[in-house]
Amino acid sequence: MNFKQTFRTAHPIIGVVHLLPLPTSPRWGGSLKAVIDRAEQESLALASGGVDGIMVENFFDAPFTKGQVDPAVVSAMTLVIKKVMSLVNIPVGVNVLRNDARSAMAIAAATGAQFIRVNVLTGVMATDQGLIEGCAYELLRYRRELGCDVKILADVLVKHARPLGTPNLTTAVCDTIERGLADAVILSGWSTGSPPSMEDLELATAAAKGTPVLIGSGADWENISKLITAADGAIVSSSLKRQGKIDKSLAEPLGTRIDPIRVSQFVEAMRRSKQSQIAYSESISSAPDPVLH
The residues near 29 (Cβ < 8 Å, ≥ 6 apart) are: 20, 21, 35
Which pLDDT score is estimated for 277? 76
pLDDT tens sequence across 236-264: 998 999 877 776 666 555 556 899 999 99
Residue 279: half-sphere exposure toward Cβ, Cα within 13 Å: 6
Rounded-to-integer distance, Cα 241 and Cα 247, Å: 9
pLDDT at 21 over 90: yes
pLDDT at 137 over 70: yes
Structural domains present in the chain: 3-286 (3.20.20.70)
Angle at 211 between CA 207 and CA 213, to 5 degrees: 80
- Please provide the DSSP assignment of 132-147 as one string: EE--HHHHHHHHHHHT
pLDDT at 171 over 90: yes
Q: 166 or 32: whose pLDDT is higher?
A: 32
pLDDT tens sequence across 178-215: 999 999 999 998 877 789 999 999 999 999 999 999 99
Nearest CA to 14 out of 267, 234, 259 is that of: 234
Burial of 275 (0-12, 13-18, 19+ CB in 10 A): exposed
pLDDT tens sequence across 80-107: 999 999 999 999 999 999 999 999 999 9
Which pLDDT score is estimated for 289? 61
Nearest CA to 119 out of 60, 161, 69 is that of: 161
Mean pLDDT within 257-281: 87
